Amino acid sequence: MKEILIASRNKGKIREYRQILTPLGYHVSSLIDYPDFPDIPETGTTFTDNAMIKAQAVAKHFSIDCLADDSGLEVMALNGKPGVLSQRYSKAGTELANNQKLIDELRGQSDRRARYICVIVYYNTKIGFTIFEDTVSGQIIDMPKGDNGFGYDPYFYMPKWNMTMAEANPDFKNTISHRGKAIKKLLSWLSQAKS
């Protein structure tokens, strides 16, 4: 079985990786399995910067190939915020507080366009960084809908599919989401790299 270490403790994110990678023969571990490993400061100014910082730090510590991603929500009317601060947008930093701050800041705004972006960095101890990126477009609604997903998903409405990200079942979400599409690019690269 192939091993992939995810440089994250985000349970929702790790669950999505497992849903996609486990059926393909990967054993997915994460930093949850290594509670003594210190948190990695995300000091980058872009999603790519942060993913590279995490992937390199974890790969060098464990001396194995590592996958890290940084992802978040960009809202047009808020000049791209919350952006790289998506997980730490509010003072409390909880999903509830982050969503409440987002809705408060959009009050009275007619432009609700937004996108999720995901940058995945695969760090190979021999060749270094390989980067995969994708997005999904939508708009922010005022009232949450759906019980699936995490983060801003209940407020992220996708007109193309007439549902929020949190209303999508996990299998469908993994085909349309920013992370799902970026992982697909990663898997295509991995299959070519090993052929």
Does pLDDT of 193 surpass 80?
Answer: no
| Average pLDDT of every residue of the chain | 92
Q: What was the pLDDT predicted at 195?
A: 47
* Dist. CA 187–CA 158, nearest whole Å: 25
Residue 94: the pLDDT is 94
- Reported as a single tens digit per residue, the pLDDT across 143-160 is 999 998 899 999 999 999
Is 110 in contact with 99 (CB distance < 8 Å)? no
Phi, psi of 29 (to 5 degrees): -115, 165
Place of tokens 């101890």: 125
Q: Which two tokens stand for residue 195?
A: 């052929």
Q: Which of 69, 70, 134, 153 is catalytic?
A: 70
Q: Annotated catalytic, 142?
A: no
What value does the mean pLDDT take over residues 132-147? Answer: 97
Residue spans of alpha helices (H) in the chain: 11-21, 47-62, 95-106, 170-176, 178-193
In contact, 183 and 121? CB cutoff 8 Å = no
How many CB atoms sit inside 10 A of residue 178's CB?
Answer: 23
Give residue-wise pLDDT tens across range 52-99.
999 999 998 998 889 999 999 999 999 999 999 998 999 999 999 999
Q: Give the confidence band of 194 by pLDDT, cuts at 50, 70, 90.
A: low
Q: Where is pLDDT greater, at 77 or 2?
A: 77
Mean pLDDT of 97-120: 97
Please, what are the domains in the chain?
2-193 (3.90.950.10)
pTM, to two decimals: 0.88
